[in-house]
Chains A and B, each alone.
Chain A
Amino acid sequence: MSGRRVLKAVLVDLSGTLHIEDSAVAGAQEALSRLRQAAVAVRFVTNTTKECKRSLLERLRRLNFDLQEEEIFTSLSAARRLVEQKQLRPLLLVEDSALEDFAGIDTSNPNAVVVGLAPEHFNYQTLNEAFRLLLEGAPLVAVHKARYYQRGDGLALGPGPFVTALEFASGCSATVVGKPQETFFTEVLSELDCSPGEAVMIGDDARDDVGGAQRAGMLGVLVRTGKYRAGDESKISPPPYLTCSSFPDAVDRLLENYKHAT
């Protein structure tokens, strides 16, 4: 490994990296504890847009992960910030379980479309409704543009394909707020007073976790769990800083290779 650098923060993806639905990745809880003992800041960055933060936290705690709500950054909360800043009244294509994160937002007579991961809304009727709003000039906000995700019964389409469909139909471009947007990563790091060169991102999505983080100036570590498929590491350029079998393996190799900030 070339030159030892200071490691001040590790950003960790949740779904597919720490857990897959209601099962923890083997050894991930202990690996997280080892990381915390190493005096680095840990934050959780997720495009898991089906769930509000509170239920995400409950799920992880049931799986015996040690984390706090304020350590979690989701693309849903980033979307809410944007809607508030621009004072939009969105048609929300997000699952009912995620609506809590939009509590208090006016959604009457919509003049914008927000797309999250909402299989029950990704049907012909609702997409037509969204399309007609876009043709009238409503802005399109994408909570993220992931191609697909790992579900208990196999791979499943993420929001990205549906956002792309609406973009093609209406001729507009979505504003994407979650991973792999650089601003999403840098907003998390700025709260930690940490530069991108002092931070590492660990995740199972080559493009959205690793590619996005590396474009923001961080190093990216790809884990071969969750949605990982053979050959993913060669789909991005530059390639991942490291490709590891799982989150525990990634933590061990990072701790070996890095000098920690004290």
Chain B
Amino acid sequence: MADASWTSSAKSLKGVILDLCGVLYDSGEDGGTPIPGSVEAVKRLKASDLKLRFCTNETQASRDRFVAKLQRMGFDISVCEVFSPAPAAVAVLQDRGLRPHLLVYDGLLPEFDSVDKTNPNCVVIGDAAEQFSYQNLNDAFRVLIGLEKPVLFSLGKGRYYKETDGLNLDVGPYMKALEYACDVEAEVIGKPSAAFFHSVLHDMGLEPHEVLMIGDDLVNDVGGAQRCGMKGLQVRTGKYRPSDEKHPSVTADGTVDDLAQAVDLMLEERGGASLTSCWGRAGGETGDSLTQ
């Protein structure tokens, strides 16, 4: 039922934002493998009249290296199309004159090369994976508790993600640990923060109701996009769990098997559709007569 509602609004779409991990590929020790059909799906989106951006909370590698990895998997993607939390965090730090203590994966450190990290007056936490040792968490804690007013930034707040060996904790639980320890509330940079989605929309030059977000994370991708006024579509790949379709507070505008199916349905619905109608506008307009 929900699927019908999102495909019917596909005609008025002007842009699509794709999550990466769990939508384009599954991560794993070997660097990851593309989800079947996703390489072609991205190609077809690019060939369409839709604007396309990629929006990820990936914080284990710098954007350059991360995009290079996707290119090696066969994806048609470039750095300027990808929005990730670290560059957004660097902008915030510079804007507010803050010097971070970094609790992030080593691979992400190059993103912060330009930032002054001496005598830190805030903490930035990302998905540090196996570098989330007690010692490293304690170091970050001591920086925070030593500040008169602790400032904590979290690069996303996901609960967990899927690796080839099973589900693993994401940055969110560790952000919660530091919040609890220091009695602070973290400022989240990345999905689902509205500021992050708006920066992508701004770059696309589109309004929220003109854009569809496709992701595997119901709360952070779908829910976050919906709170900004976008439609949110969930794929049954990546971290998707069947219980997501009965979630108490977030209901996706549609659920599809994978990205390939989403793109099939969307492009089929659009056909040669004009771009005159909008999201949410009732039927009965003359829009149909404008199709070729």
Contacts of A164 in B (CB 8 A): 173, 176-177, 179-180
* A238, CB-defined interface residue at 8 Å: no
A120 touching B142 in the complex, CB below 8 Å, given contacts A128-B169, A164-B177, A168-B159: no
* A125, CB-defined interface residue at 8 Å: yes
Which of B134, B167, B170 contacts A132, CB < 8 Å? B167
* B229, CB-defined interface residue at 8 Å: no
Give B243 Cβ to nearest chain A Cβ, in Å: 10
Give A130 Cβ to nearest chain B Cβ, in Å: 9
Q: Are A161 and B178 in contact (CB under 8 A)?
A: yes
* B265, CB-defined interface residue at 8 Å: no
Q: Are A155 and B173 in contact (CB under 8 A)?
A: no
Per the 8 Å Cβ criterion, residues 148-176 of A in contact with B are: 148, 154-158, 160-162, 164-169
Q: Are A157 and B138 in contact (CB under 8 A)?
A: yes
Contact with A along B123-161 (1 / 0, CB 8 A): 000000111111001100110010000000000000110
Contacts of A122 in B (CB 8 A): 134, 137
* A234, CB-defined interface residue at 8 Å: no
Per the 8 Å Cβ criterion, residues 200-235 of A in contact with B are: none
* B168, CB-defined interface residue at 8 Å: yes
Per the 8 Å Cβ criterion, residues 72-96 of B in contact with A are: none
* B283, CB-defined interface residue at 8 Å: no
Within the assembled complex, what's the spacing in Å between the Cα atoms of A158 and B180?
11
Closest to A145 in B: B180
Q: Are B181 and A124 in contact (CB under 8 A)?
A: no
* B172, CB-defined interface residue at 8 Å: yes
* A131, CB-defined interface residue at 8 Å: yes
Q: Are A166 and B173 in contact (CB under 8 A)?
A: yes
Which of A127, A156, A168 contacts B176, CB < 8 Å? A168
Which of B142, B170, B180 contacts A154, CB < 8 Å? B142
Contacts of B6 in A (CB 8 A): none
* A147, CB-defined interface residue at 8 Å: yes
Contacts of A128 in B (CB 8 A): 166-169
Per the 8 Å Cβ criterion, residues 205-261 of B in contact with A are: none
Contacts of B132 in A (CB 8 A): 123-124, 127
* B54, CB-defined interface residue at 8 Å: no
Per the 8 Å Cβ criterion, residues 122-140 of A in contact with B are: 122-125, 127-128, 131-132, 135
The residues of A with any CB-CB pair to B shorter than 8 Å are: 119-120, 122-125, 127-128, 131-132, 135, 147-148, 154-158, 160-162, 164-169
Nearest 3 Cβ contacts at the A-B interface = A161-B177, A165-B173, A164-B180
Q: List 30 A-B contacts (CB under 8 A).
A: A119-B134, A123-B132, A124-B129, A124-B130, A124-B168, A124-B169, A127-B132, A128-B167, A131-B167, A131-B169, A132-B166, A147-B181, A147-B183, A148-B181, A155-B141, A157-B134, A157-B141, A157-B181, A158-B181, A160-B180, A161-B178, A161-B180, A164-B177, A164-B179, A164-B180, A165-B177, A166-B173, A169-B159, A169-B170, A169-B173
